Amino acid sequence: MQNVLMTRMKELVVTLNQAARVYYQGQGEIMSNYEYDKMYDELVELEKKTGVVLSASPTVHVGYETLSELEKEPHVAPMLSLGKTKEVSDLVSWIGDREGLLSLKLDGLSVILTYDGGMLTKALTRGNGEVGEVITNNAKTFVNIPGKIAFDGTLVIRGEALIRYSDFEELNTKTAEINEKYKNPRNLCSGSVRQLNNEITAQRRVHFFVYNIVQISETPSFSKKEEQMNWLAELGFDVVPYKVVDKESLAGAVGQFSEEVKTCDLPSDGLVLTYNDIEYSASLGRTAKFPKDSLAFKWRDELAKTKLLEIEWSASRTGLINPVAVFEPVELEGTTVTRASVHNVSIVRELKLGVGDILTVYKANMIIPQIYENETKSNNCVIPDTCPVCQGATRLVQENGSSVLVCVNPGCSAKKIKSFSHFVSRDALNIDGLSDATLEKFVNEGLLHSIPDIFNLVHHREELTQLEGFGEKSYQNLVQAIERSKKVPIAKLLYSLGIKGVGLSTAKMISSQYPKKLSGYHELTMDDLISIDGIGEVLASSFVDYFADEEHQRMISDLEKFLEIEYPDVSSEQMLKGQTFVITGSLVHFENRNECKEKIESLGGKVSSSVSSKTTYLVNNDITSTSSKNKKAKELSIPIITEEQLLEMISS
């Protein structure tokens, strides 16, 4: 019997560690939170029965070593995870006759910040709990953390870096790469915080909410955790939402939070209860994994049974064909739900899905529809051997330990439409009037076969004006938009090609280092690209493979016939090198801040979203303004210049 239990324990440890490793590295997920918790609880019970705890068990270690090139550094104190429960009665019993703080358990990435002499000097991820990754430059781009605080000692705080739901949805609509790679705000946050290029982090709008003081050199006179939180808020930090509770008010507070989280913009996977008395908390110590002064409460998800009607297979620009479960409508957390992403073929197989199966579904963190259990397990789902869009052949490949389905037809219309959409998007060629629906019409009419065909649309006036919903005015607007797009910086053009892993900031780095003709980029080698700070082997390989493709070379040659491509002026590029600007307020000479930003970057400068000690100039036409940016610039003795002064600087 013991051998059977040990075998099961080993299986659980391997499965749970694999799931956690993928999750903590922001690479996706191979099982739902519900499934993970169920298996974790099973492992805990088996460890109690056998009296054996395996060295690799997730019940005794915290987090996982990350796979990045970021520098690592030990924490000043272990960054522990929390014990958990799903029962309100456990919370009431745990708090006893003492006062507590009940706060949202935010679902992002744990980050530890260090301030010395009032300045942010270090930021670490939690890592494995003992050693974290140094992400100081990235943390300085977080939307809401102060670069300087009114405290001259050393302060080490722990909080949660996260991306709000509203920002996640907006980023998803703007960037196809994010839509295809990241399934939820937590994964996007993890990927954003650990970037080697902090410009990408800045674009992702990461927020930070503090929930604990780890270390402080000069202890202010407070005895309660609530006083700490108020003090941190006074220093300029956003603190995690919380309520002061006792055993009488605890259940009601849990109920209030459970209602509020349904419309909350902050991702949350539960609550945290901690003692309000700081001295008492400190006296409790910790176990090997958990602190004894705090307990996590996981949301008890609302479950509903439904029938699986079909598995819908959705093709993307990169060729991935993603399974989506479509089921009979059910009410969950106040909304009607009919679909849930299944993520990949491995999960389809693990759940043994089949049409007609009875499923139990829920909303993870009360937001994202997920399948909890398949009661029927008919396992009759057929993995399509043809693409649902082009009917071309499909193939199963392995990514991050999971089986995914891809369309191998390079001419797939789904790939085409998504590629066209990316090419005309705002950060690329910025051609207005070409929505996905419009592009699909043009493809179906045989007007678009490859990207250069977009510039020949102007010669199809008769066909276009006869299309439903696309008249003479739409045609004229499209002609003007296409004409405007022909003058394009090389960085935007590189980005528009949709090379896997090459975002706009990466395209700027490459074109700045190698200001070549577009057709000349096929000459770049892996070594050339890896020599650029922030570009690794995977991205370099993707870039080289793209330009080595003969079809891509023909397309690029055709594009160069239509476009007036702007290349960085190497002689003037150094003018603003090493200088960092912050732009605020309304502009007169530039159309918008983005245009001003592009001009500064074209001359080698950098543009940040917040004023810090590294800022060279704050650009603000209202120098006398009492805005927070002006105040901070004056505190740090950073020059505030007008738009005209900036123009004089770059024209001299």
Give the C-alpha separation, 372 to 31, whole Å.
Answer: 9
Q: What's the pLDDT at 220? A: 67
Contacts of 87 (CB under 8 A, 6+ apart): none
Q: What's the pLDDT at 68? A: 43
Residue 217: phi, psi to the nearest 5?
A: -80, -30
Give the C-alpha separation, 55 to 33, whole Å.
Answer: 23
Instruction: Locate 505 and state its tokens.
Output: 């900031």
Per-residue pLDDT tens for 389-438?
788 888 998 876 788 898 888 777 777 787 888 899 888 899 988 888 88
Instruction: Locate 236 and state its tokens.
Output: 């300029």
Q: What's the pLDDT at 67? A: 36
Give the C-alpha separation, 157 to 410, whole Å.
Answer: 50
Q: What's the pLDDT at 62? A: 46
**Exposed / middle / buried, residue 522 (Cβ in 10 Å: 0-12, 13-18, 19+):** middle
Known catalytic residue: 224? no
Contacts of 49 (CB under 8 A, 6+ apart): 5
Give the C-alpha separation, 292 to 178, whole Å.
Answer: 38
Give the C-alpha separation, 576 to 631, whole Å.
Answer: 24
Q: What's the pLDDT at 60? A: 62
Which position among 10, 105, 298, 597 bears the catalytic label?
105
- DSSP states of 186-235: HHHHHHHHT-SSHHHHHHTT-EEEEEEEEEESS--S--BHHHHHHHHHHT
What residue type is assigned to position 489 of the chain? P
Give the C-alpha separation, 27 to 19, whole Å.
Answer: 10
Per-residue pLDDT tens for 41-64?
888 888 888 776 665 677 764 443
Please calculate the CA angle 374-377-378 and round it to the nearest 5 degrees. 140
Q: What's the pLDDT at 359? A: 92
Q: What's the pLDDT at 262? A: 79
Give the C-alpha separation, 424 to 427, whole Å.
Answer: 8
Q: What's the pLDDT at 532? A: 76
SS3 of 323-363: EEEEEEEEEECCEEEEEEECCCHHHHHHHCCCCCCEEEEEE
**Residues with pLDDT less than 70, the chain:** 1-3, 6, 21-30, 32-33, 52-56, 60-69, 173-183, 219-220, 288-289, 300, 317-318, 333-334, 365-367, 400, 533-534, 568-574, 652
Contact yes or no for 495/425 (Cβ under 8 A): no
Q: What's the pLDDT at 170? A: 78
Instruction: Locate 636 and state its tokens.
Output: 């740090």
Q: What's the pLDDT at 177? A: 56
Handedness of CA 10, 13, 19, 22 (dihedral sign): negative
Q: What's the pLDDT at 273? A: 95
**pTM summary value:** 0.52
**Exposed / middle / buried, residue 351 (Cβ in 10 Å: 0-12, 13-18, 19+):** buried
